[in-house]
């Protein structure tokens, strides 16, 4: 772990925890790495120009 990495505790529904553990095993990642991967994937999808265009159209 890098010195600048922050830590936090979160509460998850049991089903979501099991899904994360399953995905981590399937992708050969630690659970922490899987959480980071999933969050970064969502962040990337939300920051795409296509999403911004749809939001702009909805605002009209």
Name the more confident of 8 and 49: 8
Spatial CB neighbours of 45, under 8 Å, sequence gap ≥ 6: 51
Give the predicted TM-score (pTM) of the model: 0.69
pLDDT value of position 55:
61
For the packed helices 31-46 and 14-26, what is the interaxial angle rounded to 10 degrees?
100
**What's the whole-number average pLDDT of the chain?**
85
As a whole number, mean pLDDT of residues 21-48 equals 93
Does 37 score more than 70 pLDDT?
A: yes
pLDDT value of position 18:
97
Does 15 score more than 60 pLDDT?
A: yes
């Amino acid at each position: 772990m890098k010195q600048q990495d922050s830590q936090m505790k979160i509460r998850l529904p049991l089903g979501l925890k099991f899904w994360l553990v399953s995905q981590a095993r399937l992708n050969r990642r630690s659970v922490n790495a899987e959480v980071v991967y999933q969050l970064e994937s969502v962040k990337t999808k939300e920051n795409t120009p296509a999403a911004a265009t749809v939001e702009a159209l909805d605002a009209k």
